[in-house]
Amino acid sequence: MTATTEDDVAMTTAPVLEVAGVTKRFPGTLALDDVSFTLRPGEVHALVGENGAGKSTLIKVLTGVYQPDEGEVRHLGEPVTFKRPIDAQRAGISTIYQEVNLVPLMSIAGNVFLGREPRTKAGLVDWSRMYADARELLKGYGIDDDVKRPLHSLGVGAQQMVALARAVSTDAKVVIMDEPTSSLEPREVETLFEVLNRLHAEGIAIVYVSHRMDELYRVCESVTVLRDGRVVHSGPLATLPRIELVSKMLGREIKQIREEGVTAFGEEHDVEREPLLKAENLAGMRKLHDVSVSIRPGEVVGLAGLLGSGRSETARAIVGAFPLDGGSVLLAGKPLKRNKIKAAMRAGIALLAEDRKTDGIIPNLSVRENIVLAALPSLSPFGLVSKSKQDKIVKIFMDRLRIKASSPEQKVSELSGGNQQKVLLARWLATGPKILLLDEPTRGIDVGAKAEVQALIDELAREGLGVLLISSELEELIDGSDRVVVLRDGSVVGELTGDRITEENVLTAIAAEADNDV
Amino acid sequence: MTATTSQPTARNAAFAGVLQRQGAAVVLVLGVAASWFAFPHFGTADNLRSLVLQGSFLAVIALGMTFVIISGGIDLSVGSNYALGGVLAAYGAQYGLVVAIVLPLAVCSLIGLVNGVLIARTGMAPFIVTLASLLFARGLLLALTSEGATTYKVDPGSAFLWLGQGTIFGIGVPVYITLVLFALGGLLLRRTRFGQSVFAIGGAEQSALLMGLPVARTKISLYTLSGALAGFAGVLTAAYLQSGVTVIGVGTELDAISVVVIGGTLLTGGAGTIIGTLVGVLLRTLIQNVINQIGTLDSNYQTVVSGAFLLVVVVIQRLLARSRTR
Amino acid sequence: MSSATLTRDRAKVTAWLQNYGVYLAVVVLLLFNVVFTENFLSAANFRTQLVQAAPVCIVALGMALVIGTEGIDLSVGSVMAISAALIPLYLGAGPLTAIIVAVIAGVVSGLFSGYLVAYLGIQPIIATLALLVGGRGLALVIAHGQLVQLHSQEFLELGTGDLLGVPIMVIVAGVLAVLAGLVVQRTTFGRHLVAVGGNRAASTLAGLPVKRVLISVYVISGALAAVAGVLATSRLAASDPSDVGLLMELSAITAVVVGGTPLTGGRVRVLGTVFGALLMQLVQATLIKHNLPDSTAQMVQAAIIVVAVYVARERSSR
């Protein structure tokens, strides 16, 4: 679906949706700063930017979840205010969110038609028609399951397709897709692209948010790049070289990227021979099938794979936070008790979990308390809290990690994302771990903090810690790791070391296996 | 590919689902059968008639509670609303049949409306809002009855009494009313957009909002409905007892919640049936009846058994839910 | 820009009210009574107020810990009834034995609800609801539905006696409040409790003994409710399981919420809870002294709950 003459015609038609000079503030941050962009009928428009660039805020403005502080949204040339999501939907703007926003306990058909159920003459919901319509509709999306079954009986990818079917079937003129492929199987991705083609032919405009370059260049005609809440580029995509697109997203000169890479990692580390941690044949919950990973002291092991490949689950399984049916974790040759977080911690394994908000910070507590949380028992003789001991530890880590807080007593929820992440790192370092498992340690934090965290990982490895690094940013993984283990579908499908660690090789490892699988 | 791996678990899940929905019905049938054989008096028409009549008042309250719980909320004010409805009905009966019905419905709906507005518009927890209105409605009742000292009596000749004491084919009018209300309730829940919204809100409120469902409006309607039904149960009780008894309804909210949960409605919201609630009510009435049949048993065992039963149901629900996610 | 500062000011006022509103309310009510209520400023009156607030205060301390973990304990009133029902059965073996038995019953009840919540993952509201329904029935079964007059002087001393001129009930409540404060602020258990309430998932991942913490708060709540049951029984000079602790769960939750502990957990305000209990007692006393009936008192209490929760709802949820 590259630019054709047909598309050029489309470009000249009047825009279906315009965002003009929109600004949106939140306490402490300027989420959108004078953002403008235009969407024409039949256009597939890529919206890209790093985490925190303002993409999701912009989407929420378009869908009526947020109202802009300044500027306006124009629909078919007319200024509109979407006060609630339903207003946007009535205007023909449908959204499918990255996380499936449907009702798991309701039937598949019920979800598709929720809020606009077909009714009989008496005004009652016409279930038989609804089931028939849903079956018919979903066929076009590769779903032939029984539509009476509850939604949660479908896989995540299929649920995403149901969400898409719902969004499109509401007579949408604009469909916004927020990372639609992040949870799809390759086969489902193909179905999605077929649907995109169909929508394109029907003149429906699509806003396509994704991080995957291949996809963007395959389906999108134009692109708008956001960075720090501002539009840094807007125009046709096909003529924009990839490297330039990346540089615009990252806000760095191309030369710089080529010369020193985009991350703050240093050279490879000296690695001892004997693995300190050995996880063998981990399996459980139908998400892990056969994962074996070993980590040596002073080594950074990268864990690569698509979302849902079992990366987070592997890390959680190692600390006992993911129920295992099989496999074992050995630390210095000694097996750890399964599913016992406490035992793993005592043995010196620490996990920095992926989701800072839900699995990390305790929002009501101070920076100090969040840092000492995991180490508290060892700092508290007879269960009585000793503040002086805590203060010493807290000071050491706040200095070393350069945590910016007004005082150790400030509530952690008031800190920026980057500083919260450092607090969590401090929490784990305070327990004196031998193995550090880092699940997306730099996600959603600002560039400066990111570089600091990356440098810190480097430093820790130099000091002899074994690190497992999970990151969906390929460059971070490639630059930062001494060895990369590639996962797919809950199994290890490849391992790369030394010069073999390149973007291409990692992608090949993921993709090659995908072909055999289908 | 996914179908083959998930089939056994799908079957387990389906089985768990059936147990969840039909468990109470099975226990009810077994319980009735056992009681029939064990107690000579149980199977008599008189006893069965009084059994269903006794159940009907709680059933009306539980109907509203079913809607509220499916939406993921809870309404603790129903017991007080029930008592208040009864007092207002008895008081209103002096001014005729219409006042006796409309006055309590209006006041109790209003209390429900305020509950709903506070919950939907301010985001306060349903449990605490309705706790406050439990107190408020009880206070209002006391204020209306000179601190509980006055009991309004309904004139024995009043047509109003037919609502509670009349019979059709030998079965009490409240039973018919309850059945009609449950049929309407089932229709509302299963066959209207409103009902679908209730399920959606209880299953995933954030999604319901993003899908453009009228979340706030639905919630307000729900609590209003619950208040109205509790008040109406009070009306029926006043007609049955010929007076506005001030001390009824204490702890009734707990009975209502129990029967709803026993009937298979998930306390976490998003799933439940009207018929299940009816089964739950019958089961509870059966337990009460059996304890009375035993005769020698302390009547206080009733609440002990109710509590234990509720617990067993909740534990089973929980274990089933666990087996489903695994 | 001005609207932004306005909202910030409003947020500040709300935050201040959340933290200090209860103290302000107590002071205002005291001043009101000093000016408008006859015979308010007397030692005897203060004694009465404090003694009457003591049982609610004790129960509310346990409730505050439970609410701090994002839980709720509806069973406290029934636990009080069970404790009251057991007293006359064991008073023959001496008051101390009777009290110990009562408290053990409270601990067992707490273990029970705590197990349901921590290990089976049942929602606190429903786990304790079952005990609320069944517990009082059990108490009545134990006592054969009878009110029993008590005559053990030693036992009755608890509810009516003084120590250094201060009613023993008040001393017990005060000591328990100080202990609760120390536990929350200065022990690992207390800090774990707040962390578990603030973010359960994160606490689990941080290796905290989440289940043990949860079960412990319900045990403490049960034990404190039992103590309150003992005191109430002693003061009444009779074991009355059908009436003691009725609607206590309401009063205790109100005291906790009014005292600034959010229902969403993650924070426990012990002093606020004590003042919350005092405030509700003062409100009731004020209304009674001004000849306003019980009905009005209930409606006022309802309004206070709504206002307190409204002010406290920063992060609302069920």
Neighbouring residues of A423: CB distance < 8 A, sequence distance ≥ 6: A361, A367, A370, A371, A403, A412, A415
Instruction: Determine which of C75, C298, C300, C307 to mutate to test the interface with B (most B C-beta atoms within 10 Å).
Output: C298
Residue among C88, C74, C75 at smallest CA distance from C144: C88
Higher local confidence (pLDDT), C217 or B300:
C217
Q: Please check whether residue B254 touches C, CB under 8 A.
A: yes
Which residues lie below 8 Å from residue C103, measured CB to CB, with a gap of 6+? C83, C223, C226, C227, C230
* Average of per-residue pLDDT across C184-188: 88
The sign one gets for the Cα dihedral A185, A187, A191, A194 is positive
| C-alpha R_g of chain C | 20
Query: Which residues, 6 or more positions from C306, have their beta carbon under 8 angstroms from its beta carbon?
Result: B118, B124, B129, B132
Q: Nearest-CA neighbor of B259 among B53, B30, B17, B64?
A: B64
pLDDT of residue A255: 45
Chains near B with 3+ CB pairs less than 8 A apart are: A, C
Q: Tell me which chain A residues have a C-beta less than 8 angstroms from the C-beta of C263.
A: none
Distance of CA A222 to the CA centre of its chain: 23
Which pLDDT value is given to residue C3?
54
Look-up of token digits 């109470």: B24
Contacts of A362 in chain C (CB under 8 A): 194-195, 198-199, 202-203, 266
Distance from CA of A459 to the nearest CA of C (A): 23
Where does residue A74 rank: exposed (0-12), middle (13-18), buried (19+ CB within 10 A)?
middle
Mean pLDDT of chain C: 87
**Mean pLDDT score, B20-30:** 77
C260 in Cβ contact with C106 (< 8 Å): no
C163 DSSP assignment: E
- Rounded to whole angstroms, the Cα distance separating A14 from A173 reads 13
Q: Which tokens go with B41? A: 């008096």
Provide, as residue numbers in chain B, all residues whose Cβ is less than 8 Å from the Cβ of C258.
Answer: none
Is A85 close to B209, i.e. CB distance below 8 A?
A: yes
Is a pLDDT exceeding 70 seen at residue B324? no
In C178-260, at which residue ranges do the beta strands (DSSP E only) sit?
Answer: 238-239
- Please, which residues have CB within 8 angstroms of residue C68's CB and are 6 or more apart in sequence? C184, C193, C194, C197, C217, C261, C265, C266, C267, C268
Q: What is the pLDDT, as a whole number, of residue C158?
A: 85
Instruction: Please say if the pLDDT value at position C142 is more than 80.
Output: yes
Question: How do strand A222-227 and strand A300-304 relate by DSSP bridges?
Answer: unpaired
User: In this complex, is the C-beta atom of A30 within 8 Å of any C-beta atom belonging to chain C?
Assistant: no
Say how many C-beta atoms besides its own lie within 10 A of residue B98's C-beta.
Answer: 10
pLDDT at residue B127 above 80? yes
Of B318, B83, B51, the residue nearest B174 (C-alpha)? B51
Instruction: Decide if B140 and C299 are in contact by the 8 Å CB cutoff.
Output: yes
Across the interface, which of A319, A362, A374 has its CB nearest the CB of C199?
Answer: A362
Number of helical (H) and strand (E) elements in chain C, helices listed first: 13, 4
User: What stretch of H or E contains B91?
Assistant: helix B78-92
Contact between A361 and C199 using a beta-carbon 8 Å cutoff:
yes
Whole-angstrom CA distances from C242 to A516, C141, C228, C239 are 72, 10, 15, 9
- Torsion angle of C-alpha atoms B116, B122, B123, B126, degrees rounded to 10: -40
Q: Does C19 touch chain A (CB under 8 A)?
A: no
Residue A182: phi and psi, rounded to 5, are -60, -25
Give yes or no for A123 touching B (CB within 8 A).
yes
Mean pLDDT by 10 residues, chain A (518 residues): 45 79 80 89 86 80 88 88 85 82 88 88 89 90 85 82 86 86 76 87 89 80 88 87 71 47 60 76 79 87 76 86 83 80 84 82 84 79 78 84 81 80 87 87 74 84 87 78 83 81 71 45
CB contact under 8 Å between A376 and C192, yes or no, is yes
- Other CB atoms within 10 Å distance of the CB of residue A162: 26
pLDDT over threshold 60, residue B6: no
Q: Which of residues 207-266 of C touch A (CB under 8 A)?
A: 207-209, 266
CB contact under 8 A, B210 and A106: no
Burial class (CB in 10 A: 0-12, 13-18, 19+), B297: middle
Judged by average pLDDT, the poorest of A8-17, A34-43, B67-76, C197-206 is A8-17
Q: How far apart are CA C27 and CA A166, in angstroms?
A: 58
DSSP state of A262: S
Q: Which residues pair with C209 in a beta bridge?
A: none
Of B127, B96, B18, B75, the closest CA to residue B231 belongs to B75
Sort C191 into a burial class: Cβ within 10 Å, 0-12 / 13-18 / 19+.
buried
pLDDT score recorded for residue A516: 43
